[in-house]
Amino acid sequence: MIKRIQTTADLNLRTDEIVPMPTCLPDIEEAGGPVLLDSPSAVGASATKQILVIDHDPEVRELVAKTITRAGFRADIESDGEEGWHALCRVTYDLVITGNEMPGLTGVKLIERIRGFSKEPPCMLISGKQSGVESTLMPLIGFDGFLAKPFSPAALIEKVYDLLLHGQSMEP
């Protein structure tokens, strides 16, 4: 079942709540408040852009969804690659953000499966493991962007806008 996130209230989090995540993502408030860009029209009406977030870690999944909804995007969340694949079969997404280390269908395997059918939507891999060869592997595997954990909310939103505007972000 797809969990649709449209507002921060959907996440059962107060906007002033501190979400402890010392090893992954800093809290949005610690990064200077909500991440909002001056011109959402840069990628069209951001509220119409629908993003699928897939990660086995509920804290990462919820924080990524919270960050992108604060930037004006709609987010659906899934907890593993198979659930993400089923969501993609039912809904058309503008972007997929997936973790890699998931039981069953990993993020890389999910992206390979997506690319077996289509070059769309753009796919971003987030991972705590960075080998330094992501920019070389990206075109071969089929993912369009990579973001290493820990990352700031601003870095996440920058990658999201880059991928929605250009379809590929080559810098890891």
- The better pLDDT of the pair 39, 45 is held by 45
Burial of 115 from C-beta contacts in 10 A (0-12 / 13-18 / 19+) = middle
As a whole number, mean pLDDT of residues 15-44 equals 37
Domain annotation covers residue 71: yes
Residue 43 has pLDDT above 50, yes or no: no
Q: What is the pLDDT of residue 103?
A: 87
pLDDT band of 140, cuts 50, 70, 90: low
Domain annotation covers residue 117: yes
Residue 133 has pLDDT above 70, yes or no: no
CB neighbour list of residue 126: distance below 8 Å, 6 or more residues apart: 55, 60, 64, 97, 98, 99, 100, 107, 146, 147, 148, 149, 151
Query: Domain tally for the chain?
Result: 1
Q: Is residue 92 within 8 Å of residue 65, measured between CB atoms?
A: no
Domain annotation covers residue 172: no
Q: What is the CATH number of the domain that holds 110?
A: 3.40.50.2300
Identify the domain containing residue 26 by its residue range.
3-166
- Per-residue pLDDT reduced to its tens digit, 68-85: 999 999 999 999 999 999
- The better pLDDT of the pair 26, 121 is held by 121
Instruction: Report pTM.
Output: 0.71
Domain annotation covers residue 36: yes
Domain annotation covers residue 155: yes
Domain annotation covers residue 171: no
Domain annotation covers residue 37: yes
As a whole number, mean pLDDT of residues 56-66 equals 94
Domain annotation covers residue 80: yes
Q: What is the pLDDT of residue 12?
A: 43
